[in-house]
Amino acid sequence: MVKRIKWGIIGCGDVTEIKSGPAFNKVSGSKLHMVMRRNAEKAKSYAERHRVPQWTDNADELINNKDVNAIYIATPPGSHAEYAIQAMNVGKPVYVEKPMAANYKQAKEMLDVSKQMKVPLFVAYYRRTLPGFLKVKELIDNKAIGQTLYVSIRLIRSASNRERSNRSDFWRLQTEVSGGGLFYDLASHQLDFLDYLLGPIKEVFGVAANRGGYYAAEDTVSASMQFESGVVGNGIWSFVSADAAEEDLMEIVGTEGKIVFSGFRHEPIILYSDGEKIEYPYLNPENIQYNLIKQVVEDIQGIGSCISPADSAIRTNLIMQKIVGDFYSNV
């Protein structure tokens, strides 16, 4: 049992500035001790701004630092497996950004090493711990809409100027680095939450296409699915649509009502039942990953358990791969 967790971050980029990084110092028994970024100046700047004792531009140096006993990997998905396996092989628990890996094969390799080495591996699907999303789960579990029948996801928006220009520094559109396009980056959060809410997806069929022509990755995706619980669902994701079509909606319909909420806007959850409309706020923490990081720390310390282990996160990688299907073999 490890009582004092001293974290090292591999990849101290934008996501670590507010969403995650500061939370490691706010959890009892946890401290951010060292950060790594390939750009030494940016690594040093991060360490100075966040008062982190050590920094480096070498991942091996951080992983093998004797004072670091847990690793947070916040690099693009393409390097998750490499760094996570290296860290677990020296006995250090890993908390990795989502999606778990660039593809299912890499995720499976990570999970296998975690089990072989008996080293915990967690994935940053923090919606599982946010008050708003937990309210949705509470409503479902308490049968506020009766028996759950189906779920619908619609995430529609236009392409940004950066996406239209297909800039080489935008890793989310580099499939060898990200695993896919914006679908992999964004839909992973939605699909993982539905896995937590309704149980694993047992069947899924999807179609992916590139309709905008701005980059090589998929930009328009549709899917149909059925959960082990019997609930059916569908989803449509488009990242090159007109501004007027913009939508961020997740809708769960039951025999006695429905729940409507957003995946990313964090607008109030709305319950429609018995002719009434009830709104619930999201109430996110200042550092949005704080609640999950607290669970991760307590799990490593042996005083709690984390709701987002690799065992569940790997399912999202598999489902996304099945939805996208043969798209990448045809481009």
- Please report, for the domain that includes residue 69, its CATH number: 3.40.50.720
- Tokens 């847990």, residue located: 70
The predicted-structure confidence for 265-316, as pLDDT tens digits, reads as follows: 989 999 999 999 999 998 999 999 999 999 999 999 999 999 999 999 999 9
What's the whole-number average pLDDT of the chain? Answer: 96
Contact 295, 285 (CB under 8 A): no
Domain boundary among 123, 145, 175: 123
Structure token pair of residue 253: 């319909």
Domain contains 184: yes
Q: Do 173 and 271 fall within a single domain?
A: yes
The predicted-structure confidence for 121-144, as pLDDT tens digits, reads as follows: 999 999 999 999 999 999 999 999
> What's the pLDDT score for residue 1?
59
Of 247, 269, 258, residue with least CA distance to 132: 269
Domain boundary among 106, 123, 140: 123
Name the helix (H) or strand (E) containing 159: none
Q: Do 138 and 114 fall within a single domain?
A: no
Domain contains 178: yes
Q: How far is CA 325 from the centre of its chain?
A: 21
Contact 206, 223 (CB under 8 A): yes
Q: How many helices (H) and strands (E) does the chain have?
A: 12, 14
Of 178, 136, 128, 126, residue with least CA distance to 19: 126
Contact 11, 73 (CB under 8 A): yes
Q: Do 139 and 110 fall within a single domain?
A: no
At 222, the pLDDT band (50, 70, 90 cuts) reads: very high
At 196, the pLDDT band (50, 70, 90 cuts) reads: very high
Q: Which domain holds residue 220?
A: 131-283
